[in-house]
Amino acid sequence: MEEENRVFIIVDFHHPNSFACSICDIYTNFALSIALYLLIEGDSAPLYRGLIESGLGLDWTPPIHGMDRGIRTTCFHVGLQGVQPGADIERVEAEVMEILAQTVKTGFPKERVEAVLHRQEIALREDNARFGLQVILGLAGIVNHGGDVQTALSIQKMVDRFKLELAADPEMLQKLIKRYLLQNPHRLCVSMLPDAEFEAKQKVKEAQRLEKVICGMSVEKKEKALKDG
């Protein structure tokens, strides 16, 4: 990859208690996770099409990407790598907000929503050696912050509730995106640009620190250091 393409940008949406929900609001976080999955995962996801297929970026930036439910106040990261420096950096955040606004207007195809819910139900029946460990790790944040473990484990009940609420309000997903992302003032955009001279600069700093240490040593300490190797 060319050096000029190696710019990382992360647009972060924070959900503080005063504005949104804490990790203990288990159902809201579940519903929000469905909306966010639809936004970023898959070739037909709005953010994927708008940010990666468009050529604005080359790929996502795992693990700083997606919904983070391991902390007290949940957050959502849109991490993009391979962005051109300069004008494209400013364009990324604006493009994210435009995609969110458009998604609020158009919503998601019904078949995509059903597929994601079906995926959740299949995961409940998954049988592999790591299933128990994955469940425990997934509950760690909720347990640490005093959340209801029984509710967190009742995935099928949350799926059923989600289906009922979505049937009663077909715009439920758009409303979640509008409240927790589009109208959320707690947003931060971070860009990380590479420095082609980083290694050389580090070597200069290291040499300067070493010279300072040597200058502060007595003759005896220098001789001892040489002797000890």
Q: Are 84 and 2 in contact (CB under 8 A)?
A: no
Largest CA distance in the chain: 83
CA distance 210 to 176: 55
Res 102: pLDDT: 96
Domains of the chain by residue range: 3-194, 198-229
**Does the pLDDT value for residue 3 go beyond 70?**
no
Tokens of 213: 């240490």
Q: Are 39 and 45 in contact (CB under 8 A)?
A: yes
**Does the pLDDT value for residue 19 go beyond 80?**
no
Q: Quick check: helix, strand or coil at residue 170? A: coil
Res 229: pLDDT: 64
Rounded-to-10 torsion of CA 7, 65, 100, 117: 150
More confident residue, 89 or 183: 183
The model's pTM is 0.79
HSE, side-chain direction, 13 A CA sphere, residue 150: 0
Q: What is the pLDDT of residues 130-178, one digit of tens each?
A: 777 877 888 888 888 888 888 888 889 999 999 999 999 999 999 999 9
How many angstroms separate the Cα of 225 from the Cα of each of 184, 207, 216, 219? 58, 17, 13, 10
Query: Average pLDDT in the 168-196 region?
Result: 90
Q: Are 9 and 89 in contact (CB under 8 A)?
A: yes
Q: Are 177 and 39 in contact (CB under 8 A)?
A: yes
Res 161: pLDDT: 95
Give the position of tokens 């592999």.
128
More confident residue, 68 or 182: 182
**Does the pLDDT value for residue 57 go beyond 60?**
yes
Mean pLDDT of the chain: 86
The second-level CATH assignment, the architecture, of 3-194 is: 2-Layer Sandwich (3.30)
| Helical segments of the chain, H only | 26-40, 46-48, 87-106, 110-124, 131-144, 149-153, 155-168, 172-177, 198-215, 219-228
CA distance 114 to 219: 77
